[in-house]
Structure 1
Amino acid sequence: MDVKAINKLWQIDIKYVKALNGQFIMLTDIIDVYSRKLVGREITPTATTEDAKTAVKRALIENNVTSNIVLRSDNGPQFTSVKFEQFCKTNNIYHELIPTSSPNYNAHIESFHSLLSKECISWNEIRNFTHGYMLIDEYIEFYNEERIHGSLNYLSPNEFIRKSII
């Protein structure tokens, strides 16, 4: 799919992080393929269908999207559930499942997770859920506002969007 505008194709996935105390931090997040912006997220101790729906709801609201969006995901149980499919239909979202064992179809969100691991998680000793939540939330803010991308003419995602609107 050749994407030429923001809010046309989003990719969603889940990143699992384990804190030193044994707690899990589950990041259900969504990236806009065109701008590389993290447009939605839900950070919870679990990774449920409801968490995925909440992340999508947040992305729709925060990005003023009401229709004509393609949401691409892997075949995780959160995304293949009847409740998630019904949610997508109700919200005019075309949900596209990638082929099994084909993470390259979701390369943008997988790339973000790799950056998150290299630039945030591996640099910090995440003590517990609260500490992990704070670090991940701060990293997403940095990523959207400050981290430059060669594919965006060396702009951050938010700066790229601002310059695209002008």
Structure 2
Amino acid sequence: MTKKSQAKGKAPGRAIPGYSKTNNGKKVSDEQIKEYIIQIIEDEGYSYGYLKLTYALRRNCNLIINKKKVYRLCKELNILKQQRKIKPKYPRKLAKNRIVTGSNQLWEIDIKYGYIAGEDRFFYIMSMIDVADRNIIAYHIGLSCTAEDGIRVIKTALLKRQLYDVKSKPIIRSDNGPQYISNAYNTACKDLNIEHERIPYNTPNMNAYIEAYHRILEDECLGINEFENYAQAYREVNEFVKKYNTKRIHSSTKFMPPNEYYEYLQNTNEKVHIAL
């Protein structure tokens, strides 16, 4: 093949790495940057285009990022052809203070980013936790993480808890990631008769239980393993979740593993009291 024909064939160039770096060298995944973009738009309320968003990301998030990448991320978020203030079909329902007295009342969902050193890319772990019994009811591991993946996590959790066809379902609480503000995700919640609420920006304490789980995941799995490939990462995280649910004890669960504590609550009808 001649150079000319190669040019016509448009051979693929360098693969998109899927992250940017901060000024101190920390890698930040593209999905996290999308959350930053949404936060800047909704929090500040300005009609920023992708160029101003580039400078805002540099100033607010300490990112080394160029306008072409920000344009691409904005295009993926589908916010280029409309006013920069996102107006989703389903308006945000803010999380409110609640008292949880038992399982299947409030589930928290969030995404954790893992890094595969051998492939120099991120992978994603979306987990759903029951606030009362601390079980990771369902989760997704993948090289991408979409609203459709989030919908599958909800449906899997409902099936596992035998709640798919009952009228009264748990409230699902999330942050403001692009997966959770999408029309697809909120349409699914509506169709499943699930109330979905989102925490205000910069209030991770309102998603405290999934945040605490992710700290454990980081300390006991992601932070102590240098993954060579995605298959290894997938295997290690799966094994960690299994051990977390069936073996890891918590003082808040009467020193029982989450699975055992869930059965205990179901069999004794004992009430918990969690204010959040």
TM-score category of the 2 structures, normalised to the smaller one? over 0.9
Alignment counterpart, residue 48 of structure 1, candidates 124, 146, 164:
146
Whether the 8 Å contact between 1:23 and 1:128 is mirrored in structure 2 is no
Aligned to 1:24: 122
Aligned to 1:158: 259
Higher gyration radius (CA)? 2
Aligned to 1:62: 160
Q: Which runs of 5+ in 2 are unaligned?
A: 1-97, 268-276
Q: Which runs of 5+ in 1 are unaligned?
A: none
Q: What is the Cα deviation at residue 124 of structure 1? A: 1.3
TM-score with structure 2 length normalisation?
Answer: 0.59
- Structure 1: how far apart are the matches of 2:230 and 2:104? 31
Q: Deviations over 1:138-158 (max 9, x none)?
A: 100000000000111111101
Alignment counterpart, residue 8 of structure 1, candidates 105, 109, 112:
105
TM-score with structure 1 length normalisation?
Answer: 0.96
1:111 partner amino acid: A
Alignment counterpart, residue 123 of structure 1, candidates 208, 215, 224:
224
Matches within 5 A, 1:65-76: 65-66=163-164, 67-76=168-177
| Secondary structure in structure 2 of the residue aligned to 1:108 | helix
Matches within 5 A, 1:87-106: 87-106=188-207
Structure with greater strand share of residues: 1
Aligned to 2:17: none
Tell me which moved more, 63-72 or 44-53: 63-72
Whether the 8 Å contact between 2:102 and 2:265 is mirrored in structure 1 is no
Higher RCO (C-alpha 8 Å, min separation 6): 1
The percent identity for this pair of structures is: 37
Tell me which moved more, 56-65 or 31-40: 56-65
| Secondary structure in structure 1 of the residue aligned to 2:224 | coil
Q: Deviations over 1:45-102 (max 9, x none)?
A: 1011111111111111111123421000001110011111100000011001100111
Whether the 8 Å contact between 2:107 and 2:173 is mirrored in structure 1 is yes
Matches within 5 A, 1:106-145: 106-145=207-246
The runs of at least 4 consecutive aligned structure 1 residues that moved more than 6 Å come to none
2:134 is equivalent to residue 36 of structure 1: yes
Q: What is the Cα deviation at residue 103 of structure 1? A: 0.6
- Structure 1: how far apart are the matches of 2:131 and 2:214? 14
Q: What is the Cα deviation at residue 129 of structure 1? A: 1.2
| Secondary structure in structure 1 of the residue aligned to 2:99 | coil
Whether the 8 Å contact between 1:22 and 1:128 is mirrored in structure 2 is no
